[in-house]
Structure 1
């Protein structure tokens, strides 16, 4: 059972990770991607992961992370690709980052709420 202390710890970890990504100037990701995702309250409560220029969202704060929320990839030549890694489904190839964020939110798993203090195995 998840208690208030676990929820608080998870929320603080998520907030810290978002801050690190949003404050980063290392060039690992187009800054418009995390800024647009963070602007959405549903994505802001998920744990963000940046890898190879892509932005992933996890429903837990510890590895192994969940892969059932859409991940945002820049598309060569412009635009974006949204892929759900759990089953390899391409959810769409929107032109704008805002459309990509809307697509990710529209395809969040049922019952998706704030990230938990645990791993994908705990869900």
Structure 2
């Protein structure tokens, strides 16, 4: 065979679609939530360890990096929640038309960004 066929998926021709990006994002946000759960656990243990340790933990949380991590954690929570609701709708055998799939995908992105923004506007106000 002189010209072998490319293996699937042919990455030179593959263009990510909203559905594949949403699927990857759902897995990524779920994994991030596990990471953030360890951070929450460490913060709770610091609170139980005493005021000096808790003050150090609070300093980390209130740092720029800590706030960025909290914002990313809330985005992961809202994205995973909204996309999970989308999957529950699919489990009821609704929303499988191509137009509905894309509308639902963009609704998840918009809702998770809106909810994250609303939460942080409320927290910082």
Instruction: Give 1 or 2 for the bigger CA radius of gyration.
Output: 2
Q: TM-score, normalised by structure 1?
A: 0.29
User: What TM-score, normalized by structure 2, do the two folds share?
Assistant: 0.28
Higher relative contact order (CA 8 A, sep 6+): 2
